[in-house]
Amino acid sequence: DAGITQSPRHKVTETGTPVTLRCHQTENHRYMYWYRQDPGHGLRLIHYSYGVKDTDKGEVSDGYSVSRSKTEDFLLTLESATSSQTSVYFCAISGRYSNEQFFGPGTRLTVL
């Protein structure tokens, strides 16, 4: 498996609190992605990054922000968590020469 980790792996929080999820890679890949996975919806792209400080929105970006200050780290922030953001969040990376995406182990987030 590619060197990609996510932290935390599990988190329970309350509505209205800020939450930050971290994705860390050791592969020096250019592209990084944040997806959420919900039953019946597959994987939906939240935000992606195509380089340090270069990010763009995906199809479900409302309520989320991202930052990438280093190649290896991509942070996803929920400014004020809502119950609709309860989900499993996956980070993925892909390289310069291949579209193949390598996924991290996921973070299960529960917003009460």
C-alpha to C-alpha distance for 109 and 112, rounded to whole angstroms: 10
- Residue 90 touches another protein, criterion: CB under 8 A: yes
Q: List C-alpha distances in Å: 78 to 22, 52, 63, 94, 97.
A: 12, 20, 6, 24, 31
**Shortest distance (Å) from residue 16 CB to another protein:** 29
**Which residues, numbered 22-41, are part of the site for another protein (CB under 8 A)?**
31, 33, 35, 40-41
Nearer to another protein, 59 or 62 (CB): 59
* 3 forms part of the interface with another protein (CB under 8 A): no
Interaction between residue 50 and another protein (CB under 8 A): yes
51 touches another protein (CB under 8 A): no
75 binds another protein (CB under 8 A): no
68-93: b (≥16 Cβ within 10 Å) or e: beeebebbbebeebeeebbbebbbbb
Task: Please give the DSSP secondary-structure letter assigned to residue 63.
Answer: T
Residues forming the site for another protein (CB under 8 A): 31, 33, 35, 40-45, 48, 50, 56, 58-59, 90, 92, 94, 99-106
